[in-house]
Amino acid sequence: MLDRNLLTGLLAALAAAFIGSAWQLVSRHGVTTTLGPIDLALLRYGIPALLLAPLWFGKKRIAPKASLPALVLLAAGGGLPFGLLVLAGAQWAPASHMGIFMAGSLPLFTAIGAWLHKGQKIEGIRLVGLACIAVGMALFAMGSFSGGGGSNDWRGDVLFLAAAVLWAAHSLAFAHCGLTPWQGAAFVNGWSALLLALLVLPFAGVPKLLTAPWPDVALQATTQGVVAGLLGLVVYMVAVARLGASRASLSAALAPVLTTLGAAAWMNEPITGAVLLALALVVPGIVLASGAIRWRGAWRKTNEETRPST
């Protein structure tokens, strides 16, 4: 019988994969039609910040005990800087690139971060998996950076990789911040909305939200603000709390496939041979790198090592 923490973590990671893929697709659609990155960021962080305001001002308000660097990484890695990188990159590169370069590289950067921060060893099957991820992305990048995939694709790919670094830092920081998933979501969205209002909106001009067709705004408000900004962040934090940062990144295994298939069906993006080759290396690499195939035999030990204290 599966450990309850393991089952909860697996279900949360699965939900995070579907939500993350939906967010990638809707973001690509938004920035290539009627809205821009700033408009989507306003919905992505403003709506959940309002919904979670009671956690800032209520009786059970957030009282983080982590160090300032950890809190900065938590907010920056999962908040506005991360979101702007992804949304800006989506203007240049197809959704399939977002899935491969961002979701695909997440376990790689998370493992590197855990090694640098805690000296966590990377060996055996996990090392093979990380090597598969690196090779798959390198082969895919060769076509993108040489201009074969479109003159501007490489710009988006670089931004997606930078976003993956931030999200890996966010995952590792949350494991040490002492916040619940709901408190973490409130903390990230609250600071992101504040930074957006003070530092970005005054220089961004009139938001396109005021002139865009209302069905587009409604779609983005629901997906960005409620599904991704609120539920997506919470379920991923639940996965990190139950599985640890490295194993929670297993949710990235499904995201490239779901995003590629969704982009082909919804936005008629071609599934090229280069995309299939990258998926064939990156997806199995994520599964191996997560250590998933060793969970049954070593779960109790690794769970104690990677799960944050509460």
Please, what is the Cα angle at 222 between 221 and 228, to 5 degrees? Answer: 100
Distance CA 81, CA 85 (A): 6
Question: Identity (one letter) of the amino acid at 167?
Answer: W
**pLDDT (tens digit per residue) in 213-247:** 999 999 999 999 999 999 999 999 999 888 887 77
The domain limits of the chain are 4-306
Residues 6 or more apart whose CB falls under 8 angstroms from that of 141 comprise: 101, 154, 157
**pLDDT (tens digit per residue) in 32-91:** 999 999 999 999 999 999 999 888 876 667 767 778 899 999 999 999 999 999 999 999
Distance CA 207, CA 212 (A): 9
Residues 6 or more apart whose CB falls under 8 angstroms from that of 157 comprise: 89, 93, 97, 101, 141, 144, 145
| 139, 140, 143, 145 alpha-carbon torsion, rounded to 10° | -100
- Flag whether pLDDT at 309 surpasses 60: no
Q: How confident is the model at residue 121 (pLDDT cuts 50, 70, 90)?
A: confident
Q: What is the pTM of this model?
A: 0.87
**pLDDT (tens digit per residue) in 159-201:** 999 999 999 999 899 988 888 899 899 999 999 999 999 988 8
Do the beta carbons of residue 259 and residue 93 sit within 8 Å?
no
